[in-house]
Structures are given as structure tokens and as C-alpha cells.
Structure 1
Amino acid sequence: MRMMIFGAGFSGLAIGRALSGDCDFAGGTTRSPERFPALQGAGLTPFIYQGDVPGEDLSAALSEVTHLVMSIAPDTDGDPLLEAFSGGLRPSMPKLEWIGYLSTVGVYGDHDGEWVDEETQCRPVSKRSVARLAAEDGWTRLAAEAGVPLAIIRLSGIYGPGRNALKTVHEGKARRLIKPGQVFNRIHVADIGGATALLARERLGGIYNVTDDLPAPPQDVVSLAVELMGAKLPPEIDFETADLSPMARSFYGENKRVSNARIKASGYTFLYPDYSSGLNGLYVDGSWQQ
């Protein structure tokens, strides 16, 4: 396997670590040379990519790539790589065998707390989720033209080392926002790596929700983090009167429970099937503060 990860950030690095033992070559892109050590620490050869046509070194690596992972979020102008590869994938990646595209469960939109799965109609609300669904469609077309399987990997709220409720509590930034009936799914970054690695090894295509087993109210996660840290429980705040940014408030405009049955049926066993096991794991090994 020769892999390239476009956008080797929090999730991309986890995928690199999960597949490091499978790859003859693994590369990742970043916008800044300052992040080269982080990529190298995850077993990735770093390349600069600023969102335009890939440069000479990156293009040379792509010509040998068999597995491509896309982890760059589209902006208001769309997905830059869809334009960069508008002439097709094969001219740049003649050996390509599989593509993974990291998307979001936000494409489902609001379903009033009901369960959704990969067959549920998408009706995104936010601009970022609308852009994600358009990018999914664009990559579906490119993959079909290239004749390679595409795994669309829809992720819920990501947490893990250095990005979690334990750290928020420690920093005194935790809030217990209360909106009756509101639930969210979450996913530990290690399970993003593990699930993507399974799909890449097996060259599986299709849509997969990579999310935990336990959609839960956000205040429950804060309460568990407070308990583990031995901190003082912050007061409840009514969502309707809370001082929130428009983006933060928009997250609460989508309420659904997301099923992960398909990725399990494909053979993946979650390392952290719920937020309780995830936060406990971060607390015990101390990685919450990284």
C-alpha cells in the first residue's frame, strides 16, 4: 500500500498511525512546514499543499499512490481538490486502488432526535454541511470515472488526546448547556484511524457512519468529565438564553441519533464505543492533556 493523506490534521494523523505498518509509503499534506514533525511522528512523509494544483514533489509521490485519503474540509468556494483533479484522477494517480473521503454526519441535517443511517435522506442545514454533501457528490463522480471504490466516511463530533471535555474542565471552560431532548454522537479519533484503516485494507466502497454507540446530551459528557477530574460541577445554562456564537448555536439546530451498524457489519470493533469509555481511557493514560 502506498498512501497519501490530503489534510493530515487531527484525524489524518490518526489514520497515518493506524496504517503505518501496512504502508510501503505514507505521505501527508499540510499548509505549514512547522507541522512537519507531527506528520513525521505519525509515520508520514510531509508535503506542502496550499489548495491549488499539487507541486512537483507531491505530484511525483501521487504518481505511485494506491490509496488516497481526503481530509480537507471544503470552504465556501467548494473543495479545492475537486477543481485540481477536474480532469480526472488517473492522469495524476494511475495506480490508484481506493479512495477514502472524510465527511460529517452533519449532512443528514435535523431529524428531531430520531435514528438515522446511511440510507436516510440527507437534508443539511448549515452551509458547511451543504458544502460537505456537494463534495461527497464530486468525489463520487471522480471515483466512478477512475473506476475505484470510494468510502465516504461520515464522522460525528471528534475528540481524543488534547481535544476533549477533560481538558475543557481543567481549563475552566466547561459549560452545561441544557436544551431538552438534544443529543449528539461522538467519535474518538483513534476509532477514525481504525475504521478508515479497515476500509482501506479491504478496499471497501460505500457510505459509512463512523460514530459511537451512545448519542447523549452534551451536559452528560461534561458531568462525567467533572467527576473524573474531581472538579466543581458548572451551573446549568438554558440554551435559549445562552450567549453563543452563530456557529455554536447552529450545532444545536441538528438533533439526531446516528447508527454505526454498517461499519460494524463490515468488521470493525470500536476501541471506544461510547463517551464514557473514551473519557476514562484518556484520563487513565493521561493523554487528555496532550
Structure 2
Amino acid sequence: MDQKRGSIVIIGCGDLGTEAGLRFAEAGYRVQGWRRRPELLPAELAGVQADLGGPLPALPADAEAVVFAPAAPERSVEAYEATYLRGLERVLDAIDSGPAEPARILLVSSTAVYGDADGAWVDEDTPAAPATPTGKVLLATEELLLRRRPDGLVLRLAGIYGPGRTRLIDQVRSGTAAAPAAPHPTNRIHRDDAAAAVVHLIRSNASPGTYIGVDDAPAEMSDVVNFLAHETGAPAPEQSEGKSARGGNRRLSNARLRGTGFEFAYPDYRSGYRAVLAGRGTRHR
């Protein structure tokens, strides 16, 4: 291990942050994971008790990068503002007033900042138009980071699936999943690829700004649920005339992320879900 490397601070070190933290640790960094219950973190990460609503711990003086990846306790505007907008503001204030001078700050955001595109392709140059109040808070948080830190990084993730994130698989197995009859593209990324993208953007020479984190293959929800039914031996889901309310009607491009040299372990939902069903990608569980 290269002991000359400094510290990485992951604020909101939940499932995604833990996977990213393990990858940083393997690369030789000291990693601090800030969360309300640090005792849940694996031994490779130094757990720090932190609540974004209370006094913040001091960042280590050798902090090379900060990853801001908290999860709001509920889907309300109040919870999102407290967690993301005011939480990030307090972290940035702490950086400005403390000895740490991290060269990289990355915000994990969401593709929920985009609106409906009627099935068209969307990339980072597409104007954000959040359709929900919580999406508007996320966009405001992104704008805060890039205003305060023009060298900041924003990673907009689509639907994350993977170990412990098996909602769709569970629905297919229980017979509650539906196959929409109308075309409706969906976008997703495996948890391990999402974590790898965080590490890659921090460690690479990626230009500051915004990146979309999705796999190579936007897919119709009907194709995904029928694939899962086949893989699990469950009955084929019934067709539904209703329109899916999740994810927006758009196809998200990962070309900018790919252009930095990032490679996906699971470039499409077939390879990713097969790994989940086989029990792979469970390193910290």
C-alpha cells in the first residue's frame, strides 16, 4: 500500500459510499466514512460519527478528496433541503474555514434533475428540468457546488440496482411486476459500477463538471421484467396499460463518462442482473 497517499472523506457513507470507500482503500488511500452509525462500516474504513444537521467533525488535514453522498431520510422537500442543500453548504463552509484543502469534491446526484424527453436521448448538455420538488432541490444542490467550487464534480446516477437493491427482482418473483404495454425506456446502473465511477472521477484527470452515470443500454421496462422472469423461472409479468411513473421517459447517454476512460463491469442490465442473481458483488455484506 502506498502510504504517501492522503485521505478520502466520504460523507453519507451508506451502501454506495462503502463500496466506493473499499475501492479507495484498496488503492492505498486512508478513508473516512461519515455516517450516523459508523459502527456499521467495515474495518477497512475509519468510521466517523456525523450528522449533517449537527456539528460536523473536522476534516483530516491531508484530505485529498471529499465525496458527498448522503441519503435523505424521507422523500420530502424538507428532508432533501436539510440533507443535500444545507448539508452540502455546511460541508463547504467547513472546508473553507479548516486546514483541509481537498483537490476534488464530488457530489452524488440523480438523473431526477431531468424532465420527460418523450423517449429521446438526454446528455449533460440537455437542460435540467426537474419534474418533482425533490428533483429541484437536487438541482439546487448541484448549482451550489459548482458555484462554490467550479472545479467540482457532479455524478448524476440513474436507477441503482445490485446487492441489497433487488426491488424489481422481488416484484417479478412475487408476481407483482407489470410489463408496460406502451414504450417507456428506463435507465439504470449496477451499484458496483456506480461506486467505481465515483473512484474513477476522483482519481482520473476528468474535467470538472457534470457526468451521467448509467450503463450502455437504456431498456424498455417490459424487456427488463420479462428477462428477469426468464432468469428466475417466474411467470411472465402481465401487460399493463399504465405508464411507468419511475425514471422519466428518456434515454440517458453515458458518452461523457465513457470518454474519460471509464469501463463498466456491467454494461447492460442482463450482465448486471445475472451477477446479482448469482450473488456476486457482495463485498461488504
**TM-score normalised by L of structure 1:** 0.84
More helix by share: 1
Matched, 1:199 2:201: yes
CA contact (8 A) 2:184 2:220 kept: yes
Q: What is aligned with 2:275?
A: 281
Gaps of 5+ in 1: 241-248
Cα distance per residue 1:169-228 (max 9 Å; x no partner): 34x164114151211110001111111111111253221111011111222212111111
Give, in whole Å, the separation in 2 of the partners of 1:114 and 1:225.
25
Q: What is aligned with 1:64?
A: 62
CA contact (8 A) 2:7 2:60 kept: no
Shift of the alpha carbon at 1:17? Answer: 2.1
Give, in whole Å, the separation in 1 of the partners of 2:175 and 2:19.
26
Shift of the alpha carbon at 1:129? Answer: 1.0
- Partner amino acid, structure 1, of 2:189: I
Give, in whole Å, the separation in 2 of the partners of 1:44 and 1:173.
39
Q: 1:286 to 1:11 in 2, by over 3 A?
A: closer
- Partner amino acid, structure 2, of 1:214: A
Shift of the alpha carbon at 1:88? Answer: 6.1
Q: What is aligned with 2:152?
A: 150
Q: What is aligned with 1:6?
A: 11
Give, in whole Å, the separation in 2 of the partners of 1:200 and 1:222.
34
Give, in whole Å, the separation in 2 of the partners of 1:99 and 1:179.
42
Gaps of 5+ in 2: 1-5
Give, in whole Å, the separation in 2 of the partners of 1:287 and 1:22.
18
Give identity over the alignment, percent: 29
Give, in whole Å, the separation in 2 of the partners of 1:196 and 1:260.
14
Q: What is aligned with 2:142?
A: 136
Q: What is aligned with 1:162?
A: 164
Give, in whole Å, the separation in 1 of the partners of 2:232 and 2:199.
32
- Partner amino acid, structure 1, of 2:214: T
- Partner amino acid, structure 2, of 1:200: I
Q: What is aligned with 1:256?
A: 250
- Partner amino acid, structure 2, of 1:218: M
Match runs of 1:67-146 below 5 Å = 67-73=65-71, 76-77=77-78, 78=81, 79-85=85-91, 87=93, 89-92=95-98, 94-144=100-150
Give, in whole Å, the separation in 1 of the partners of 2:214 and 2:189.
5
Shift of the alpha carbon at 1:89? Answer: 2.5
Q: What is aligned with 1:236?
A: 239
- Partner amino acid, structure 2, of 1:201: R
Cα distance per residue 1:121-163 (max 9 Å; x no partner): 111111121111000001112213xxxx311101010000121
Q: What is aligned with 1:45?
A: 46
Number of matched pairs: 268
- Partner amino acid, structure 2, of 1:257: R
Give, in whole Å, the separation in 1 of the partners of 2:35 and 2:245.
28
CA contact (8 A) 1:6 1:70 kept: yes
- Partner amino acid, structure 2, of 1:123: A
CA contact (8 A) 1:88 1:142 kept: no
**TM-score normalised by L of structure 2:** 0.85
Q: 1:221 aligns with which of 218, 224, 236?
A: 224
* Cα RMSD for the two superposed structures: 2.3
CA contact (8 A) 2:179 2:237 kept: no
Q: Secondary structure at the match of 2:53?
A: coil
Q: What is aligned with 1:208?
A: 211
Give, in whole Å, the separation in 2 of the partners of 1:6 and 1:215.
30
Following TM superposition, the consecutive aligned residue runs of length 4 or more in structure 1 with deviations greater than 4 angstroms are: none
